[in-house]
Amino acid sequence: MKRIDLKRRAEWLSKAGILTEALPFMRRYNDQTVVVKYGGHAMGNDDLARKFAADIVLMKQVGMHPIVVHGGGPQIGRMLERLAIKSEFVDGLRVTDQATVEIVEMVLSGAINKGIVAAINAAGGRAIGLSGKDGNLIQARQLRRTKVDPDSNIEKVLDLGFVGEPTKVEGDMLRRLVAQDLIPVVAPIGAGENGETFNINADTAAGAVAAAVDAIRFMLLTDVEGVLDKEGRLMPELSVAEARALIADGTISGGMIPKIETCIEAVQGGAEGAVIIDGRVQHGVLLELFTSHGMGTWIRRD
């Protein structure tokens, strides 16, 4: 008589249950575009990087159209250090002179971008690497920031060099690539109207891409669980108005503010919704998309 391994059967039943739960979400997202900002700890961990690549391929195979926009701050920092090029930050943004922007472009558009492309291809996908300069995909201008001098109370304009902000994203170009079953992987480098190269914050670039392609969802991977309330508990869902109120009362502070602002801009620009999730969690992208409980903090229109 054939013996039944009860433990293995329980595992099979569990996996079948996961697939059953995922089915309605797969139907919902079929033929829809999802933009994923990839960065932080998930990029620096080889195992997580392989799993992320496999997750992106799975999204494509079940009928979704993923677009990846990546960062690379730590890798840029290491290369600048090796080349003895000094770099400083102002309000979280790297001051980028001519020497620095050349290194930024080399690292982002070269080693990092092609590494992500290779990982997705190795997992069975068909990825194509792009810089925002390719085909003027991301057109940009110099980012202007001001700061009030605490002694004189005079507002001064900060010179961040070749730090840019998107002015236009060629969404049709990305749609054409997606229509050919390709997975675009975009480095956050922008093209200025006079041929300048601009270093764009990856979160900002990804949000602009999500708005330009009317993504059904913009997913921002980071190194925190999501938005926490004043007691440190995860807030699973926020409207744009609620998010702004939490910034105003100080609940959302520090580095989370620009991430929330990017999500708001993506939603108001055309994305159906945005979510901040913990990139350190294995298969976090799939858990957010294909389960009823999701992950992280979902930001929706009012």
pLDDT digits (tens, 9 = 90+) for 28-53: 888 899 999 998 777 878 888 899 99
Is 94 within 8 Å of 100 (Cβ atoms)?
yes
pLDDT category at 290 given cuts 50, 70, 90 is confident
Nearest one of 290, 297, 276 to 40, comparing CA atoms:
276
60-77: string of b/e by CB count within 10 Å (b at 16+)?
A: bebebbbbbbbbbbebbe
Give the integer Cα–Cα distance in Å for 240 and 236.
13
Specify the residue for token string 């932080």: 40
Give the number of other Cβ atoms within 10 Å of residue 192's Cβ: 16
Chain segment 242-285, per-residue pLDDT in tens: 999 999 988 988 778 888 988 998 888 888 889 999 888 888 88
Written as six digits, the tokens of 59 are 């999204």
Terminal Cα distance for the chain, rounded: 62
Question: What percent of the chain stands above pLDDT 70?
Answer: 88
DSSP-based three-state secondary structure for 227: coil
Higher pLDDT, 96 or 283: 283
Specify the residue for token string 């919704």: 273
> 2-11, 46-55, 79-88, 94-103 — which one is most confidently predicted on average?
46-55
Domains of the chain: 68-213 (3.40.1160.10), 214-302 (no CATH)
Residue 280 is predicted with a pLDDT of: 86
Residue 1 is predicted with a pLDDT of: 47
DSSP-based three-state secondary structure for 210: helix
- C-alpha distances out from residue 54 to 113, 146, 226, Å: 16, 42, 23
Give the number of other Cβ atoms within 10 Å of residue 234's Cβ: 14
For residues 106-118, average pLDDT: 93
Give the integer Cα–Cα distance in Å for 252 and 94.
22
Q: Is 148 exposed, middle or buried (0-12, 13-18, 19+ CB in 10 A)?
A: exposed
Residues 6+ apart with CB under 8 A from 207: 37, 218, 220, 262, 263, 265, 266, 269, 271, 274
Does 65 have pLDDT greater than 80?
yes
- C-alpha distances out from residue 162 to 86, 158, 205, 251, 261, Å: 15, 12, 15, 32, 22
> Is the C-alpha dihedral spanning 96, 102, 103, 104 positive or negative?
positive
Chain segment 164-207, per-residue pLDDT in tens: 999 999 999 999 999 999 999 999 999 999 889 999 999 999 99
Residue 270 is predicted with a pLDDT of: 81
Does 147 have pLDDT greater than 70?
no
Chain segment 113-146, per-residue pLDDT in tens: 999 999 999 999 999 999 999 999 999 999 877 6
pLDDT category at 26 given cuts 50, 70, 90 is confident
Residue 40 is predicted with a pLDDT of: 74
